Amino acid sequence: MEATAREPGSGGVTRRSWASWLLGTSLGATLFAFLYPVLNYLVPPASSEPSLSEFELDLKAADVPPSSGRIVPVGGKPVLLLKNAAGELSALTATCTHLDCTVQYRADRTDVWCACHNGTYDLKGRNISGPPPRPLTPLEVYVRGEKIVVKRA
Amino acid sequence: MSEAKRSSSSAPDPAPRAPGESRLHAWARDRLGWDDLAHLAAKKRVPVHRYTIFYYLGGMALFLFLVQVATGILLLLYYRPSAAEAFESVQYMMADVPFGWLIRSIHSWGANLFVGVVFAHLISVFFLKAYLAPREMTWVTGVLLLFLALGFGFSGYLLPWNTLAFFATKVGTDVPAQIPVIGHLLSRIMRGGSDVSGATLSRFYGIHVAILPAISTLILGAHLLLVQRHGMSVPRSVEGKTRRSISFVPDFLMRDMVGWLAAVGLLAALAAFFPWELGVKADPFAPAPAGIRPEWYFLWMFQGLKYLPAKIFGIPGETLGVLFFGALGAGLLAVPWLDPRGKRGIVVAALVVLAAAAILTVLALLPVPGEAKP
Amino acid sequence: MRGFVVLLLLSLATPEAGGQAPPKPPPAINGCVDCHTALEDPRITPPAKLFADDVHAKAGFTCVFCHGGDGRQEDQEKAHDPAKGFIGKPKPREIPELCGKCHSDAALMKQYDPSQRIDQLAEYRTSGHGKALARGDTTVAECANCHGAHGIQPVKDSRSPVSPTKIAQTCNHCHGNAALMAAHQLPSDPYEKWSRSVHYRARVEKADLSAPTCNSCHGNHGAVPPEVGSVANVCGTCHVTFADQFKLSPHWEPFKEMGLPGCVACHENHEIVKPTEAFLADGAESKCSSCHEADSKGARAAAEMHSDLVGLDREIRRATQLADRAAEAGMEVSKVRFDLVAATNALTKARADVHLFRPSAVHAAVAEGLKVARGAATGGEARLKERDFRRRGLFISLGLILLSIAALVVRIRERERSTREPAE
């Protein structure tokens, strides 16, 4: 037994060196399995900024026509992005405070309306008629370069 | 030219290469001079007896600590320590960073596993009475490491800045305020202000990634040195019967490694099947949700304080509770002097304390009727 | 002695006599209350005690303003002098006019509450209650039955029986009394039915006072059930979109011709439950099959709308389940959930469009929603794939770890063996 174990280069793979090989290889492979995620982790993803309290919209400021409004997703929630006749951008949370339907902008009346139960808000989000008990929350909007950025107040 | 040759070091000629030793190995050995250490390591032996299995706990605690350090350093690359960005940066890691979910979940699960193993190590050392002379300072440094581990857990818990962490920290920093005289100052220092805020986050961050690691390095170094100096302690009950021993390197280490690999596998499985929750971003102005509680290793204190009456002999109950915990901590540190001859009394006392802590922890986990799950 | 004090104090106050004249500044002491309270008689003491908290008392009105008589007199006969206008307990038929004496007087009401209406009496006379009372039926409601007589609070005060939170129960006092309602050939279950409706749930469970209660649809003082032709208008005061659509639909004219009560024909009047697609199907809850014969054009239109709506609902559910499963596994699903909100909005709109009773309109709305819902489902599936990728990676790593452990164990065993058989 030992003879085979001890003789180096005795021709043929000895049991001891087979076990050592297995150990070395499996440990090496395991180490690689640990390093693979770590090395990938070090490479930053495409969106290199975490979305913080501000969200850059996939929308250019120039693409929003004046006197219009549209719903955009901001942090997973619907937000009503408005541009008045003078070209100023504003934003309101678009979840109706009555029963959570998504509100819409009405160009003909320049107000914000909820189709579910006829709730109406003004362009600052104040609830002016119908069932909504609370106003919509205004959000800060500004333009950075070409893109529009919405900030959670 | 010949001068250059002569000017070779006044150090003794390097030892010749051992058979089978690679060139690289010999080169390193000459420059690092690790021969002495290598000899010490080769000499170190671990006694084999009925309780040998408990010897693995210390190494496991060290390994898990290193896992925390490694994952913690990786988390540092993406984490942002401000109230405005902390939560979002963790969310980003969980959702967008490749394998970010893995690193973060391993760190969170690892923290709990680490504290659990440290407790197990403490308990086994205690019951095996490995604190007896000359190992008193090993015990003291070990208990200090336990406190440091709890400090890591407490400070790290706040860092994701979610509702649960925020309010648990509020409650947790209220407790030291009960200490007489210095309590409020202590609480203010911990919080970086009168209330838990972004300042608290900055402070806890600094404590978690710099202050505690620095202190831990020193105390851990001392602890390991002392363990090496005194060797593995053998419980009195098996003293005479121990004849076998195995070498530390490589035999004990290989067995250690089995445990370490299993621990890593467990952490990876937990990360994949039970990813650590993120929750909702903390809103200091919202009311505390029902069911707020700290991590499991603090639950016994949390629950215990709840049962104390408002006043005992005119002193606020909570103050007495906090002082009692302080006394327990001091008692823990003083164990080698409370039981210098390894008698039975302290074992009974410890069992009572452990049982009480276990019962309180279970009580804290029971759902309260009408309370929502946090 | 007490009478002397009363007289002394009264003499300092302005003298006041009968209650039929317009009010003068209130006297310092209300003699009626003193006597009636002291007598401790179950018939006359409670009203006197209640009146202390009455809104009229706080405005300075006293018993004599309604009951007549002389409040300064201690002697019962003198106090109860019919010559001074004393009427005792008013008869039910007299009460509306009694209250209206002040409450229909614009100049008077302006002195106390300028924004309060003054047409309650006129309205009351047009109501079912008013007309019956005029015919001599005293078993119907008059002012005091609803507002109380002596402890009257303003309508906004939650103690008032006609406050928004209490009014339904007040109506139910009579309208839930089977014997009383039978005498008037009216059903006695409106409250019971309403308490099973979505409006009740909104008001009581969600504290949403914008949901209707009895007076929202029936009016306050001029209470009559809406005419069949007006039902759509009444419901349409809140449910604008549906009413508008209904008026544009092919049902509008025929319903008017047949005298069917608009919205109530399908949705009931009091027991308005949450509508479901089952209304369009041909099962037990079907509304369409009560008029449209099987296989008629109408029945087929209903079936088409039904299958469209059910299809979208199913797709949304499927996507939601996928998102939930992914979220449970720790994946990030906020974009998927946002899309699902949009899809649910489309479903809500499609359900509203049913009231146009034209399958093409519903189909268009459903098509929009399906596009979004399918996108959301794809997103959910992608996240589940990512979860599977993670698990596969885990199993590979675990496999490697187990292999390493096995290799270590083999090596350990080997070393044990070799140390037990030391080299010679």
Stretch C175-196: mean pLDDT, rounded?
Answer: 91
Mutate to test the interface with B, among C328, C383, C386, C401 (most CBs of B within 10 A): C401
- Does residue C310 sit within a domain? yes
Contact (CB<8Å) C398/B258: no
Residues 6+ apart with CB under 8 A from B157: B165, B168, B169, B294, B295
Average pLDDT over residues C56-60: 88
- Tokens of residue B28, six digits: 């390193």
Computed over every residue of chain B, the mean pLDDT equals 87
Is the pLDDT assigned to residue B114 strictly greater than 90? yes
> Which residues sit opposite A72 in a β-bridge?
A79
DSSP 3-state assignment of A107?
Answer: coil
Residue C415 in any domain: the answer is yes
Residue written as token pair 């209206």 = C100
Q: Are residues C336 and C372 in the same domain?
A: yes
Q: Dig out the tokens for C200 from the structure.
A: 């009740």
Instruction: Copy the structure tokens of residue B90.
Output: 């963790």
Same domain, C261 and C329: no
> Looking at residue B286, what is its pLDDT?
80
CATH numbers and ranges of domains, chain B:
44-233+244-365 (1.20.810.10)
The CA distance from C204 to the nearest CA of chain B, in Å, is 21
> E strand or H helix at A139, and its extent?
strand A138-144
In a domain, C125, yes or no: no
Rounded to an integer, what distance in angstroms lies between the CA atom of residue A47 and that of residue A60?
18
Q: How far apart are CA B232 and CA B246, in angstroms?
A: 12
pLDDT, tens only, C232-276: 888 888 888 888 899 999 999 999 898 888 899 899 889 999 888
Q: By CA distance, what is C391's nearest residue in B? A: B272
Q: Are strands A147-151 and A54-60 parallel, antiparallel or unpaired?
A: antiparallel
Name chain B contacts of A40, Cβ cutoff 8 Å. Answer: 98-99
**Cβ A117–C239 below 8 Å, yes or no?**
yes
Q: Are residues C327 and C416 in the same domain?
A: yes
**Over the stretch B126-168, which tens digit does the pLDDT of each residue have?**
999 999 989 999 999 999 999 999 999 999 999 999 998 999 8
DSSP symbols for B131-179: TSTT-HHHHHHHHHHHHHHHHHHHHHHHTT-BHHHHHHHHHHHHSGGGS
Q: Are B158 and B201 in contact (CB under 8 A)?
A: yes
- Judged by CB atoms closer than 8 Å, whether chains meet at B261 and C329 is answered as no
C308 shares its domain with C414: yes
* Mean predicted confidence (pLDDT) in C128-153: 91
Give the closest-approach CA distance of C408 to chain B in angstroms: 7
- Structure tokens that stand for B77 in this block: 């690359």
Q: Nearest 5 degrees, angle CA B13-CA B18-CA B21?
A: 115
Range of the domain at C241: 229-273
Residue B100, both tokens: 């970010």
Q: Determine how many CB atoms are found less than 10 A away from the CB of residue C308.
A: 24
C339 falls within a domain: yes
What's the rounded Cα separation, in Å, for the pair A118 and C263?
A: 18
Neighbours of B350 (CB within 10 A): 17
Chain A residues whose C-beta sits inside 8 Å of any chain C C-beta: 1-2, 5-6, 15-16, 19-20, 22-23, 25-27, 29-30, 33-34, 37, 71, 73, 75-78, 98, 101-102, 115-118, 130-131, 133
- Structure tokens of B153? 């857990």
Token pair of B124, please? 């086994």
With an 8 Å Cβ cutoff, are B103 and A38 in contact?
yes
Question: What does the pLDDT read at residue C10?
Answer: 52
Residues in Cβ contact with A122 at an 8 Å cutoff, skipping those fewer than 6 apart = A111, A112, A128
Residue B224's pLDDT is 94
Reduced to 3 states (helix: H, G, I; strand: E, B; else coil), residue B117 is helix
Nearest-neighbour CA in chain A from C17: distance (Å): 49
- Cα-to-chain-centroid distance, residue C280: 26
Is the model's pLDDT at C24 over the cut of 70? no
Report chain A residues touching chain B, CB-CB < 8 A.
30, 34, 37-38, 40-45, 47, 50-53
CB contact under 8 A, B101 and C390: yes
State the average pLDDT over residues C283-305: 88
pLDDT class of C38 with cuts at 50, 70, 90: confident
Chain A residues lying within 8 Å of C395, measured CB to CB? none
Q: Identify whether residues C366 and C334 lie together within a single domain.
A: yes
Tell me the pLDDT band of C147, cut-offs 50, 70 and 90: very high
The tens-digit pLDDT sequence of chain A (153 residues) is 444 444 444 444 566 678 888 888 999 999 999 999 999 998 888 766 666 567 778 788 888 899 999 998 887 788 999 998 888 999 999 999 887 888 999 989 889 999 887 889 999 999 998 888 889 999 989 887 788 888 875
Q: How confident is the model at residue B248 (pLDDT cuts 50, 70, 90)?
A: confident
CB-nearest partner of A45 from B89, B98, B103? B98
Q: Which residues have CB under 8 Å from B163's CB, separation 6+?
A: B279, B280, B281, B282, B283, B286, B289
Show residues of chain A in contact with C338, CB under 8 Å: 73, 76-78
- Work out how many domains chain C is built from and give that number: 2
Give yes or no for residue C14 having a pLDDT over 50: no
Residue B15 has what pLDDT?
65
* Statement to judge: residues C344 and C382 lie in one domain: yes
Q: Are C109 and C59 in contact (CB under 8 A)?
A: no
Chain A residues touching residue C335 (CB < 8 angstroms) = 73, 76
Q: How confident is the model at residue B3 (pLDDT cuts 50, 70, 90)?
A: very low
Name the nearest CA neighbour of A82 among A3, A11, A4, A150. Answer: A150
Q: How confident is the model at residue C5, as a pLDDT? A: 55
pLDDT above 50 (res B252): yes
Inspect the interface and report whether the beta carbons of B254 and C394 lie closer than 8 Å.
no
Contact at 8 Å (CB) between B148 and B216? yes
CA distance linking residue C233 with residue C9, whole number of Å = 59
| Residues of chain A neighbouring C397 (CB-CB closer than 8 A) | 30, 33-34
Residue C344 lies in a domain: yes
Q: Which run of H or E residues covers position C327? A: helix C297-328
Helix (H, G, I), strand (E, B) or coil at B89: helix
Reply yes or no on whether the pLDDT at C4 is more than 80: no
**Residue B217: its pLDDT value, please?**
97
Residue C64, in any domain of the structure: no
Tell me the average pLDDT across B47-62. 91
Q: Is the ipTM of this complex over 0.90?
A: no
Average of per-residue pLDDT values in chain C: 86
Q: Contact C405/B261, CB-based, under 8 Å? A: yes
Residues C253 and C313 in one domain: no
Residues 6+ apart with CB under 8 A from B225: none
Same-domain status, C301 and C416 = yes
CB contact at 8 A, C111 and C61: no
Confidence of residue B4 (pLDDT cuts 50, 70, 90): very low
Q: Could you say which DSSP state residue C277 is in?
A: G
Q: Does C396 reach chain B within 8 Å, measured CB to CB?
A: no
A44 closest CA partner among B98, B252, B169, B139: B98
Say if C180 falls within a structural domain. Answer: no
Contact C210 A98 (CB under 8 A): yes
Could A41 and B103 be called an inter-chain contact, meaning their C-beta atoms sit closer than 8 Å? Answer: yes
Exposure of C12 by Cβ count < 10 A (0-12 exposed, 13-18 middle, 19+ buried)? exposed
Same domain, C402 and C309: yes
Distance between CA atoms of residues B152 and B211, nearest Å:
10
Residues of B in contact with C412 (CB under 8 A): 251, 254-255, 258
Distance from CA of A67 to the nearest CA of C (A): 23
Q: Is the same domain home to C263 and C329?
A: no
Shortest distance between the Cα of B78 and any Cα of chain A, in A, equals 9
Longest distance between any two alpha carbons in chain A, whole Å: 99
- Cα–Cα distances (Å) from A130 to A100, A113, A136, A142, C235, in that order, read 14, 10, 14, 31, 14
**Nearest residue, CB atoms, C401 vs list B91, B94, B265:** B265
Name the closest residue on chain A to residue B76, using Cα atoms: A42
Residue at C223 is within a domain: no
**Domain containing C305 — which CATH number?**
1.20.140
d(CA C181, CA C179): 5
Compute the distance between CA of residue B227 and CA of residue B270 in angstroms, rounded to an integer.
Answer: 32
The whole model's pTM is what?
0.69
Report the residue of C408, C419, C420 to disrupt the B interface, i.e. the one with the largest count of B CBs within 10 Å: C408
Structure tokens that stand for B19 in this block: 């058979």
What secondary structure letter does DSSP report for C63? T
CB C62 within 8 A of CB C26: yes
Spatial contact of B274 and B156, defined as CB atoms under 8 Å apart:
no
Residues 6+ apart with CB under 8 A from B229: none
SS3 A114: strand
CA angle centred on B98, ends B95 and B100, rounded to 5°: 65
DSSP state of B281: B
Residue B1 confidence (pLDDT) above 50: no
Q: Identify any residues that bridge with A81 across adjacent strands, giving them in sequence order.
A: A70, A91
Cα(A4)–Cα(A16) distance, rounded to whole angstroms?
9
CB distance C84 to C46 below 8 Å: no
Question: Does residue C347 share a domain with residue C269?
Answer: no
Mean pLDDT confidence for B331-341: 92
The per-residue pLDDT for A153 is 54
Q: What is the CA radius of gyration of chain C?
A: 36
